[in-house]
Structure 1
Amino acid sequence: MEQQFQQEHSGHSGNPQDPPKKQKNEAIEWLKAIVIAVALVLLIRWIFFAPFIVDGPSMQPNFHTGERIIVNKILYDVRQPEHGEVIVFHVPSEGRDFIKRVIGVPGDTVKVEGDTITVNGNVVDETYIKEAVDEKHNNNELYNTEANFPNEQFQDGKVPEGHVFVLGDNRSNSTDSRRIGFVPFEDIVGRADLVFWPLKDMKFVSH
């Protein structure tokens, strides 16, 4: 009887898995899963998306200094930029990135005369700045008081292959294709898709 009790007692202490050890293993698995998930998020962001901080008034009234934007980096690997899209691109001469709106695509002939923009002879309906333009016109003022296009620096208004013509929404305070010329596709970072900061101003970008 004593021998049987010892065997049963010995078997009872060795069969169940040690609870602390089991909990430790589960914690390690959870930690691995979290690390992998974070790594995937960072990888996806690095490959597909990039953050951009608006700096300056050139895209007012639609974008403002300090706003944080998510830039879609892969869209233009699939297709070319289209009219009206807001893009972020490198400007080698400035050593930084700009945010502007696409007005002309390859093959287009662009003309900027005051507040009238034509592409291939057709007036562009710029609904995204209509209110600001109307406000100026109601006061008998021009919205665009700066450079026109073509100009002395850039005399050909036809957009070459592999390039886009861009303008800032704030025409009187923007360094854009009127001053830096056409933007090569290879300098484009991507399309601005989402304003995520400040939170109160979070919105998808209208194109």
Structure 2
Amino acid sequence: MIFRDKNKKLLLVLLILVVVLIFLGFKNSFFEKKSQVPFQNNKDNIESLKEANCSVKTKEMIVQGDSMAPLIEPGQTIKALFGYYNCHKVKRGDVILFKYAGNKNLIIKIVKGTPGDSFQLEKTSVAWNLYVNNKLVVNSENKAYLFSGVRYKMLHLYEKSYKGIIPSNAYLVLGNKTSGTLDSTRIGLIGKKNIVAKVQLP
């Protein structure tokens, strides 16, 4: 009788141990899965929240000057998206508005080079061509830019200073005239903080 009681007690202890082990295994498995899923969802939620908080103000503006012709003609009305770049990257090919200390009006240009892009000038028989990431830079009419004089010197200064790589938060911008305008050939690379709007082309 005593022997049977001991066996019953031993069996009960073993049963309790098995139940505890099963519970602990289930608990660990549950919390491992629970800790992984929110981490992935948080990343998605952050991106969604960022987009939701992106306040973009659309404003119609009239273009003055012919530096962007024929892509954008003088007197043409454009839509400017102010605040767009607070939550979007500036991309190569974007038409932008930026502020410049030497000009009271906003300046409209095309982004031709972004941070990390390589750029170099190559001499032709008449002037200098510009290459970005080893590709010849052309305007909207597929005509190559040709720079000489002070315009070449300005770009060459930046090319030499930064070893042909556009630094972070800096952009190479040009007008649509192949000889250069009030752009990076005159004022150098522009900072991200000076870009105020993206232009929405018709």
State the TM-score, normalizing by the size of structure 1. Answer: 0.58
SS at match of 1:57: coil
User: 1:62 offset after TM fit, Å?
Assistant: 0.9
Across the aligned residues of Structure 1 and Structure 2, the Cα RMSD in angstroms comes to 2.6
2:33 is aligned to none
1:129 aligns with 2:152: no
Q: How does 1:1-207 map to 2 (within 5 A)?
A: 48-113=57-122, 114=127, 116-124=129-137, 126=138, 128-130=140-142, 133=143, 144=146, 146=148, 147-148=151-152, 150-152=155-157, 155-156=160-161, 157-194=164-201, 204=202
Which letter maps to 2:113? G
**Identity across aligned pairs (percent)?**
28
Which letter maps to 2:141? I
1:51-87, Cα deviation, whole Å (9 max, x unpaired)? 3321112111211211111111232112221111111
Equivalent pair of 1:89/1:98 in contact (CA under 8 Å): yes
SS at match of 2:155: coil
SS at match of 1:87: strand
Name the CA distance, whole Å, in 2 between partners of 1:145 and 1:60. 18
Name the CA distance, whole Å, in 1 between partners of 2:136 and 2:172. 15
1:24 is aligned to none
Q: 1:60–1:165: structure 2 CA closer, same or farther, 3 Å change rule?
A: same
Q: 1:51–1:123: structure 2 CA closer, same or farther, 3 Å change rule?
A: same
Which letter maps to 2:130? I
Q: Rg bigger for which structure?
A: 2
Unaligned runs of 5+ in 2: 1-54
Name the CA distance, whole Å, in 2 between partners of 1:78 and 1:47. 10
User: 1:100 offset after TM fit, Å?
Assistant: 0.6
1:197 is aligned to none
State the TM-score, normalizing by the size of structure 2. Answer: 0.59
Equivalent pair of 1:57/1:173 in contact (CA under 8 Å): no
Highest relative contact order (Cα 8 Å, sep 6+), 1 or 2? 1
User: 1:115 offset after TM fit, Å?
Assistant: 6.7
Name the CA distance, whole Å, in 2 between partners of 1:101 and 1:72. 15
Q: 1:191–1:61: structure 2 CA closer, same or farther, 3 Å change rule?
A: same
User: 1:164 offset after TM fit, Å?
Assistant: 0.9
1:87-109, Cα deviation, whole Å (9 max, x unpaired)? 11111122221111001101112
Query: How many pairs does the alignment contain?
Result: 139
Which letter maps to 2:61? F
